[in-house]
Structure 1
Amino acid sequence: MSAQHEAGVTTTHRVVILGAGYAGLSAAIQLASRAKRSENVQVTLVNAQEHFTERLRLHMTATGQELAELSIPELLEGTGARFVRGWVTAVDADAKTVRIDDEHVLPYDTLVYGLGGMADTAAVPGVEDHAYALNSAQDAEALADRLARLARLGRGTVVVAGSGLTGIESAAEIGERHPELDVVLLGRREPGAAMNPKARAYLRSALERLGVRVRSGVEVAKVLPGAVELAGGESVPADVVLWTSGTRMSPLAAAAGLTVDEHGRVVTDATLRSVSHPEVYAVGDAAAIRQGYGVMHGTCQGGMPTGVHAAMSIVRALKGKQPKPFRFGYYHTPVSLGRHDAVVQFTHPDDSPRRVHLTGRVAARYKETVTASPWPTWGRMKKMPASGAFWPRGGRFTRAGAAR
């Protein structure tokens, strides 16, 4: 515990949180709201942009739909946390400092590492030069502008590379907003491969209805200025390529000497502490968090609870208590198929599909509720008493937060 009296002097425990995604913001709001009555804890949230990126809605931004601008300082208002805008350029885990924009240094006593992943545009030749990605609102806006110019011509082919959830939602959104364009979804696996057969069939029929051509079992070998080259040599014409296949992590954790896995994620213990540096917590998709069913995959569904749990663990540690293990189970996989259609696959805690699923407008409303859920969630965090509990119940997360 850093905040203590020594020779009559009270020191402040400095908690620095890197990354204001769903996990980082949850950690900052939860921790600062609990600690705001204490003069001995200072919470600082660092992020490259002042506006919060709604990653769950980037496929909407990419088709020219306007979203509300969400200010991170406003989201933190009333919590006591301070916001620092800047790029994290280095972490010194031995000196316990963070370098911002290669100019400023922030010391910390406890670090919450939440610098998540981005589309892996370096894995395949030509992607960085000739493809779009959805790593930020700026990326999505650039794609929206290109699609609008192509749509004005009344024709063109858009190739979405990657048949995961981001690829599915993006292809569907583009197909609905720009019916004059030919949309091709390419991927190694069938879209919705992890869903039950009925949910998967509904998803496939919805893509067909939207005019999206699906090609499964293919692998992109190269992206060219006007085409995508598949493994085996076939060329698929493309006026626009959206890359959604694979993610890569920031190299900062590994460079700092933190133990990372083969994907660059910080390896944590059961309480979300780094196994090599216990004063560092890792959250969201920046962390390799092992549960009984395996390592969690990065989603908002799991990211927010990790941020909350890290905050709770820090509070317990500052009180001289032992942090509790993090336990999490998945609950659902909601996938939008344009603005008025969706499929929601309910899952077992290990993310395997249940028989139950939703489709159509009911599923679309469900998906929209899930997408909008961070705002009321963070609002409740701000208002709770310092001794109150939000998600955690004895270290286990309940379904009230889309988690179990």
Structure 2
Amino acid sequence: MPKHVLPAESRELVLVGGGHAHLGLLRALAMRPVPGLRVTLLAEELAPVYSGMVPGLVAGLYRPEESRVDLLRLATAAGARLIHDRATGLDPAARRLACARHPALRYDLLSLDIGSVSRPLPPGEGRVLPVRPIGSLEARLAAVLLDGPARAAVVGGGAAGVELAFSLRHRLGPAAEVTLLPGAGLLPHAGGAARALVRRALAGRGIAILEGAPVSRSAPGALLLADGREVPCDLALWTTGAAAPPWLRETGLALDAEGFILIDETLRSVSHPEVFAAGDVATMAAHPREKAGVYAVRQGPPLADAIRRLMAGRAPRPWRPQRRALALIGTADGEAIALWGRFALRGAWAWWLKRRIDRRWVTRFAELPAMPPMR
């Protein structure tokens, strides 16, 4: 049987995770249901945070409810059954998904959009806070900020690390020491002019940058770098990139060298075509991209289209992610830096654009269409 043809009785779609692509898929199903398709959503977070608004949330520019999507409401509009749980394993041969607190779920089609996990923290007894899972970051950060650390650091040199450094500066005030530790280098995918602009913006807000060596150890009141330097630090945010959920290695799915699910241009596993994957947890073999929400938000529509076509007995259409994406780094004081490939600009207009994009993205899941009548 061709891999795009489903048996007549195939009707069970199980979605794992409330990532950006699955939110787009659920909205598409709410607007135009697929006849006969039974959808189950397994999610550990019932109000996932939009990743683009996390730095603003950390800075105190957004209220928590402004940055979250009501997953129960969205699932209800899509006619999906919602199970509050997390996946712990997968048996592709039996098409069963193991859950932490519920019986295994049988599926005909499975889609994984569970994001990534934090890379291992450095050894030691210092106060190092991983950014992931982002849904609980604000609560975890608020708990450790009760004693008001005067010396903070952000470990990681990507766009997320840079923006979180600006956010901590705004939240902690001008008297606090804020240091960015980008390891080997700042914004490795950006051009020299873009990096220079970002360095000027950081320096202008009193944020120090220490490049050239990764963090090797943490200690109370300090971070130790691999080259022997010691950075005074009462609290560090760990933003060193994405790691794959460890349980994927036991699933039998084809994975890349880092443990992420390898998918083709139809967002399906290259080894198990009944399994879809999107967002950080997936790597498109033909078109690999960095792990970033700006790519995940674009995967909802092609994922919905692929499932509709499979249910109609047609082959999914190939989809290719954009080569580059606009990154908007807020400085938490009314400006933002716009990065496009090797180009960069900054100004209040970029902050206005970022806020407009972020707010519109969250709002589209609150303003859902009316549910179709039951038949």
Report the TM-score when normalising by structure 1.
0.82
SS in 2 for 1:62: helix
How far apart are 1:187 and its partner, in Å? 1.3
Query: Would the aligned equivalents of 1:47 and 1:86 in 2 still touch at CA under 8 Å?
Result: yes
Equivalent position of 1:25 in the other structure: 23
How far apart are 1:149 and its partner, in Å? 2.1
In terms of mean alpha carbon deviation, does 71-80 or 261-270 score higher?
Answer: 71-80
Query: Would the aligned equivalents of 1:63 and 1:144 in 2 still touch at CA under 8 Å?
Result: no
Equivalent position of 2:260 in the other structure: 265
How far apart are 1:12 and its partner, in Å? 5.7
Change (3 A) 1:335 1:325: same
- In 2, Cα distance between the equivalents of 1:222 and 1:194? 26
1:360 to 2:344 alignment: no
Picking from 318, 326, 334, the partner of 1:325 is: 318
How far apart are 1:88 and its partner, in Å? 1.2
- In 2, Cα distance between the equivalents of 1:219 and 1:56? 26
In terms of mean alpha carbon deviation, does 196-205 or 112-121 score higher?
Answer: 196-205
Equivalent position of 2:290 in the other structure: 297
SS in 2 for 1:305: coil
Query: Would the aligned equivalents of 2:335 and 2:346 in 1 still touch at CA under 8 Å?
Result: yes
How far apart are 1:377 and its partner, in Å? 4.7
- In 1, Cα distance between the equivalents of 2:37 and 2:184? 48
In terms of mean alpha carbon deviation, does 138-147 or 225-234 score higher?
Answer: 138-147
- In 2, Cα distance between the equivalents of 1:233 and 1:190? 17
Query: Would the aligned equivalents of 2:39 and 2:79 in 1 still touch at CA under 8 Å?
Result: yes
Equivalent position of 2:177 in the other structure: 182
Query: Would the aligned equivalents of 1:92 and 1:256 in 2 still touch at CA under 8 Å?
Result: yes
1:125 to 2:112 alignment: no
Deviations 1:370-400 (A, max 9, x none): 2224235547885799xxxxxxxxxxxxxxx
Equivalent position of 2:137 in the other structure: 139
How far apart are 1:260 and its partner, in Å? 0.4
Query: Would the aligned equivalents of 2:152 and 2:176 in 1 still touch at CA under 8 Å?
Result: yes
Query: Would the aligned equivalents of 1:91 and 1:98 in 2 still touch at CA under 8 Å?
Result: yes
How far apart are 1:313 and its partner, in Å? 0.7
1:227 to 2:225 alignment: no
How far apart are 1:237 and its partner, in Å? 1.6
* Structure 2, unpaired ranges of 5+: none
1:334 to 2:328 alignment: yes
1:204 to 2:199 alignment: yes
Query: Would the aligned equivalents of 1:31 and 1:43 in 2 still touch at CA under 8 Å?
Result: no
RMSD: 2.5
- In 1, Cα distance between the equivalents of 2:59 and 2:297? 27
Q: Give the partner amino acid of 2:108.
A: D
- In 1, Cα distance between the equivalents of 2:219 and 2:203? 26
Picking from 155, 160, 165, the partner of 1:171 is: 165
Change (3 A) 1:315 1:221: same
- In 1, Cα distance between the equivalents of 2:124 and 2:355? 35
Equivalent position of 1:398 in the other structure: none
Matches within 5 A, 1:146-161: 146-150=144-148, 156-161=150-155
Highest RCO, 1 vs 2 (Cα 8 Å, sep ≥ 6): 2
Deviations 1:297-345 (A, max 9, x none): 2222211222321221111111111111111213312111114111112
In terms of mean alpha carbon deviation, does 138-147 or 156-165 score higher?
Answer: 138-147
- In 2, Cα distance between the equivalents of 1:208 and 1:376? 35
Matches within 5 A, 1:67-146: 67-68=64-65, 69-122=68-121, 124-126=122-124, 130-135=127-132, 136-146=134-144
Change (3 A) 1:197 1:370: farther
Query: Would the aligned equivalents of 2:223 and 2:233 in 1 still touch at CA under 8 Å?
Result: yes
- In 1, Cα distance between the equivalents of 2:311 and 2:135? 37
SS in 2 for 1:322: coil
Picking from 45, 48, 52, the partner of 1:52 is: 48
Query: Would the aligned equivalents of 1:126 and 1:224 in 2 still touch at CA under 8 Å?
Result: yes
Query: Would the aligned equivalents of 2:155 and 2:183 in 1 still touch at CA under 8 Å?
Result: no
- In 1, Cα distance between the equivalents of 2:238 and 2:57? 16
Query: Would the aligned equivalents of 2:112 and 2:276 in 1 still touch at CA under 8 Å?
Result: yes
Overall identity of the aligned pairs, in %: 27
- In 2, Cα distance between the equivalents of 1:207 and 1:115? 32
* Structure 1, unpaired ranges of 5+: 5-10, 348-352, 386-404
1:372 to 2:359 alignment: yes
How far apart are 1:161 and its partner, in Å? 0.9
SS in 2 for 1:111: strand
Deviations 1:100-149 (A, max 9, x none): 22432211100001111122134x3238x731012233233221332342
Change (3 A) 1:33 1:111: farther
- In 1, Cα distance between the equivalents of 2:7 and 2:93? 20
Aligned length: 362
SS in 1 for 2:255: coil
